[in-house]
Structures are given as C-alpha cells and as structure tokens.
Amino acid sequence: MTVPAGGVTPAGPSADPPARSAAAPAAAQPLPSTRRLGVGMVGYAFMGAAHSQAWRSVNRFFDVPFTIDMAAVVGRTERSVTAAAGKLGWRTYETDWRALLDRDDIDVVDVCTPGDSHAEIAIAALDAGKHVICEKPLANSVAEAEAMTEAATRAQARGTVAMVGFNYRRVPAIALACELTAAGMLGTVRHVRAQYLQDWIVDPDFPLTWRLQRERAGSGALGDIGAHIVDAAQFIVGEPLVGVSGLTETFIRDRPGGTVTVDDCALFLGRFGGGAVATFEATRLATGRKNALRLEINGSGGSLAFDLEEMNELRFYRHGEDPATAGFRRILVTEPSHPYMGAWWPPGHLIGYEHTFTNQARDFLSALGSGTAPSPSFADGLQVQRVLAAVEASAGNRSVWTSTGAPSGAEQT
C-alpha cells in the first residue's frame, strides 16, 4: 500500500508491494509538522551542484520546519538544463528564470549564476514575493549591491527574506571561531591575517573563462575568494573593516581566448571598527595551495587559526593558562556540541565541502520558520562589496588609505 507524498503519488516501481509493507513518508512529502517549500535554482554549474546536494540533504540531517521540494532548475540551454535537472535531481526545469516568478510552487529562488546577473534576478524575485538566496559576491558593484539591499529591505517588510551565500560561515570550525570570539575568549582582537590561496590558473595555458572577465565576474581573485575572507573575518571579529590599503596585480594577462581583465591577486592592509589591524591576501597563483582559506586572529586573551584545507580543525590558544602546558590546541570540530555537528556523524568523523551548503540551508530554513531575517543579509553582502570597492580604489591610487564607509566602532552582524 502506498500513500501520497507531498502531492506526489509515488507508486513505486513495484506496482503492488506486499501487503505487509507500508509506504514510508517519502522524500517529497512534508515531514511531520513541516510545510513544503518549493525551491527554484538558477544556474547549475559548480555552485548549482553544491546547492542541489544541500537541498536534497537538509531534511535528512536537520529538523527544520520545511520539507524541501526541489521544484525547478533554470538554465538557458534546454539540452543542458534538462540533463542537469536529471543529474542533480530537480523535478522540473525552466529556460528563463522569470518563469519561476509566476510559479506558485516556487517559494525560494536560489541564485547560482555569475555575478553580473545577481542584481536583476534577485531584485525581481524579491519583488515577486520569492525568498532569495544569492551566491556571493552579492554583486559586481556597490551600486548593484545597494539596489539589492534596498529590494531586500522592501521585501522584508512584506515577510520575504533574502540571504547572501557566504557558505564558509557554516564551516563548523569557523562558526566555532565566531562563538569563541563573541564569548570573549580572545579578549580584544588586535590582529587578523586572512589569506585565500589557490593555484588553478598558474598555468598560462589555462583559458579565459567568465571568471577572468571583468564584465562577467566584476573582479578576479578579489571578488571570488577575497570576498570570502572579508566576510569570514568580519563575521568572526564581529566588526566591519573600516579602511584599507590595497594592491592588485595581473601577472598573466594573455591567455588562450583573450586578455584577462581581472586581477590574479589582491592584497590589502585593513583596519577593523574596533581597531584591530589586518593583512588580507587573495590569489589564484599560489602554486601548491589548492583551497587554502586561512585565518589567524590574535587577541589580548587568545588566538585562533584555521585553514580550509583542514576544515574540520580549529587551532585555539588561550592566554593565561599555565605556561607549562599552554599551547595551541588542535580542536577537531566534530563534537556534538560544536556548531552543526550534532546533525552529522560521531566525533572524529569528518564532514566536507558541501556540508557547508547543507548547514546554510538549515540556517535559512530555521530563520524562515521562526520569522527572523536570515544571516548574512544583503546588507552584509553590501558591506563586503564596499570593502572590495575600497581595495580597488586604493590599489588604483597608490595604495592610499581608503575608507570603506563603515563607521568605526560599528558591529558586524
């Protein structure tokens, strides 16, 4: 005997299951005390694959007040989007993202496209009453990000929410770092050093892709991975960057396919609202470093260190302990008491990259269920955008100190 699940009538490949078997509440049926939530995802490449796995998994590991219906995936090329829908497990597809706005079964629009289309899609979706998750960086310019933030503010008044996808906030070790800092375990923060090192374009024969073109990507390493360390650092420190001194460089300008019009790397000094000083560096030419998002924070009361290539670990030093046994602890962030980890595996069993997106989906759904604004907001994304813009401005003006516009002493959400 089978039962309908979420409006779907799953007959099962075996049309007539034995009487003693019983249909379980199937995947697409809302789980007990949850409501169905239809998601429409725009874009289906790298980010789309990661988001799909998150939407597919979130109900399996977390108790959230919605049951996800992976309703539609959007792509311009029908053949490709059809294949992607099948591969990634979406129920329907569209070839124009605007179609999502008219569909009643779409509650959330998940924007996984390149940065040049974020503003148009996100604003339209919010205005149409769809909740929005938008990949980072929020936009390709401050102006776009401002418009998006305004749209989010308007939407919020109507109960429609927006979130920017800084998924690394959902690395349990980074979330723990934030908790420890917020709890005062680091005392006054004085130093931040943040690096995001990759090497995927170190070969000069690597071709020109959209990520290497300013009109599509906005910037290079700066916006792609620099945005991540800016957000992560502001998230952990709990303060915005108020000023920067920057430098960018494109070491390899000519590639198969054309001229690179974005930076290969961006470096900057920074100052947080509370006075801490910082070095930031984002590069795609750090030979041998594959995905080394590193953060180190020193405060008057302790220090933290993190490397995404060892993403299940956090190093923590507490000042004032007995010097005989003081030292950086390697915290294996897999305990049930660690952020997100109660939902996953026993202590010592690692999680990986895509879990950050599932954790992000959980936070989004929890906020939605409780009627609170999900975090990071578009305003947070705008603040990151302002930092990136200040870096570019400084880099274009002899590295002179440049304000981000964030008030000194402000707190970051």
Per rule CB under 8 A, is residue 97 in the interface with its own copies? no
Per rule CB under 8 A, is residue 409 in the interface with its own copies? no
Task: Tell me which of 215, 257, 330, 342 binds its own copies, using CB under 8 A.
Answer: 330
338 C-beta neighbours (distance < 10 Å), count? 20
Rounded CA separation 136/145 (Å): 11
Task: Tell me which of 205, 346, 370, 371 binds its own copies, using CB under 8 A.
Answer: 346
Per rule CB under 8 A, is residue 403 in the interface with its own copies? no
10/369 with CB nearer its own copies: 10
Per rule CB under 8 A, is residue 318 in the interface with its own copies? yes
Per rule CB under 8 A, is residue 404 in the interface with its own copies? no
46/256 with CB nearer its own copies: 46
Q: In sequence order, what DSSP letters do the residues of 119-145 get, joined into one string?
A: HHHHHHHHHTT-EEEEESSS-SSHHHH
| Residue 320 Cα distances to 81, 221, 302, 330, 373, angstroms | 57, 39, 8, 18, 38
176/379 with CB nearer its own copies: 176
- Give min distance, CB of 80 to its own copies, in A: 12
- Give min distance, CB of 244 to its own copies, in A: 9
- Give min distance, CB of 287 to its own copies, in A: 5
Using DSSP's 3-state secondary structure scheme, residue 178 falls into helix
Per rule CB under 8 A, is residue 96 in the interface with its own copies? yes
Per rule CB under 8 A, is residue 311 in the interface with its own copies? yes
Per rule CB under 8 A, is residue 195 in the interface with its own copies? yes
Residues in the interface with its own copies (CB under 8 A) total 141
102/157 with CB nearer its own copies: 102
Q: Give one word for 409, left, alpha or beta, with left for phi > 0 and alpha for psi -120 to 50.
A: left
Listed ranges 78-86, 156-164, 222-230, 360-368: which one lies at the site for its own copies (CB under 8 A): 78-86
Of 42-61, which residues contact its own copies (CB under 8 A)? Answer: 46, 49-50, 52-53, 56-57, 59-60
| Burial environment of residue 229 by CB neighbours within 10 A (0 to 12, 13 to 18, 19 or more) | buried
Rounded CA separation 251/152 (Å): 38
Query: Smallest Cα–Cα separation from 115: which of 195, 40, 198, 214?
Result: 214
Rounded CA separation 252/34 (Å): 52
Per rule CB under 8 A, is residue 355 in the interface with its own copies? yes
- Give min distance, CB of 204 to its own copies, in A: 8
Of 371-400, which residues contact its own copies (CB under 8 A)? Answer: 398-400
Task: Tell me which of 193, 214, 216, 255 binds its own copies, using CB under 8 A.
Answer: 193
Asked if residue 59 lies in contact with residue 68, where contact means CB atoms within 8 angstroms, the answer is yes
- Give min distance, CB of 285 to its own copies, in A: 5
- Give min distance, CB of 145 to its own copies, in A: 25
128/247 with CB nearer its own copies: 247
Listed ranges 115-123, 130-138, 192-200, 362-370: which one lies at the site for its own copies (CB under 8 A): 192-200
Reading the block at residue 285, the tokens are 């030419």
Rounded CA separation 379/37 (Å): 25
- Give min distance, CB of 286 to its own copies, in A: 4
Of 246-285, which residues contact its own copies (CB under 8 A)? Answer: 246-247, 249, 251, 265, 267-269, 271, 275, 277-279, 281, 283, 285
- Give min distance, CB of 170 to its own copies, in A: 14
Pairing mode, if any, of strands 189-197 and 277-283?
A: parallel
11 C-beta neighbours (distance < 10 Å), count? 11
- Give min distance, CB of 398 to its own copies, in A: 4
Asked if residue 217 lies in contact with residue 115, where contact means CB atoms within 8 angstroms, the answer is yes
Per rule CB under 8 A, is residue 226 in the interface with its own copies? no
What is the torsion angle, in degrees rounded to the nearest 10, for the CA atoms of residue 162, residue 165, residue 119 and residue 368? -10
Per rule CB under 8 A, is residue 86 in the interface with its own copies? yes
Task: Tell me which of 142, 202, 208, 367 binds its own copies, using CB under 8 A.
Answer: 202
87 C-beta neighbours (distance < 10 Å), count? 12
Three-state secondary structure of 144-173 = HHHHHHHHHHHHHHCCCCEEEECHHHHCHH
Reading the block at residue 184, the tokens are 């005062």
Task: Tell me which of 43, 138, 147, 200 binds its own copies, using CB under 8 A.
Answer: 200
